[in-house]
Amino acid sequence: MLKKIIFFYLFFFISLSTQSKNNEDFVEKFITKFKTINNIKFDFVQTNDELVETGSCFLSYPKKLICRYVGNDQKEVVIKNNTLAIIKRKYRRVYYYRVTNSPFATILDKDKITTQIKNIKNISIQDNLLIIKFNNLKDNSSLQLFVNKDTLNIAGWETIGYDQQSISFSIKNSEINVDIKEKFEIPNFDLNRNGN
């Protein structure tokens, strides 16, 4: 019986040591690659409890993102520095939100990702994706970042939206360091005038 207990403890601690070493190797490789990324162009599928949306995005470090959604509303999301704007061009409306203390404050900041990932002890693997869990203790928001195990490219994320719904964001067809002249402009609709 004592031999079985000793064997169990040895197996358990060897497994933990191996996992810790694998995490360290992954973190080192990911950070090395991630530091070379200036921007990412990609298609996406965004799902929550109510709907599935698709479109394309351009993310530029630091702190810039524009996503154009497929659909009649002509919806766009633009993030520039600490401002997030949800734009519905069909209705000529812009809704503003703060990025600070939201998951986007991490996603769009390479320094935050690299600093926080160094402190993460447990990285899980599911369906060839490494799942990295970030927690923000200030406001209880959470972020799970998905990284392709083979390419070390960001494959998406899961978080809680401003409406407290779980949002899953999958990245498809990503291209790194592309030459695009995106301006990340938020329109200033004058609702008192007719026309454009």
Confidence of residue 10 (pLDDT cuts 50, 70, 90): very low
Confidence of residue 127 (pLDDT cuts 50, 70, 90): confident
Does 166 map to a domain?
yes
The 8-class DSSP code of residue 9 comes to H
Residue 105 pLDDT? 86
Query: Over the stretch 152-171, which tens digit does the pLDDT of each residue have?
Result: 999 999 988 767 788 999 99
Does 161 map to a domain?
yes
Question: What is the pTM for the complete model shown?
Answer: 0.80
Residue 25 pLDDT? 83
Per-residue pLDDT at 102 exceeds 60 = yes
Residue 184 pLDDT? 92
- Give the domain range for residue 158: 26-54+100-176
Q: What are phi and psi of 2, to 5 degrees?
A: -60, -40
Does 15 map to a domain?
no
Does 116 map to a domain?
yes
Beta strand ranges found along 48-113 (DSSP E): 52-60, 64-69, 75-80, 83-88, 93-98
Where b means 16+ CB within 10 Å and e means fewer, 56-80 reads ebbbbbebbbbbbbeeeeebbbbbb
Does 143 map to a domain?
yes
Structural domains in the chain (count): 1
Does 44 map to a domain?
yes
Does 50 map to a domain?
yes
Closest alpha carbon to 106 in 67, 135, 72, 73: 135
Rounded distance between C-alpha atoms, residue 117 and residue 75, angstroms: 32
Does 77 map to a domain?
no
Lowest mean pLDDT among 60-74, 116-130, 156-170, 181-195: 181-195
Residue 137 pLDDT? 47
Per-residue pLDDT at 18 exceeds 70 = no
**CATH number for position 122:** 2.50.20.10
Rounded distance between C-alpha atoms, residue 63 and residue 108, angstroms: 5
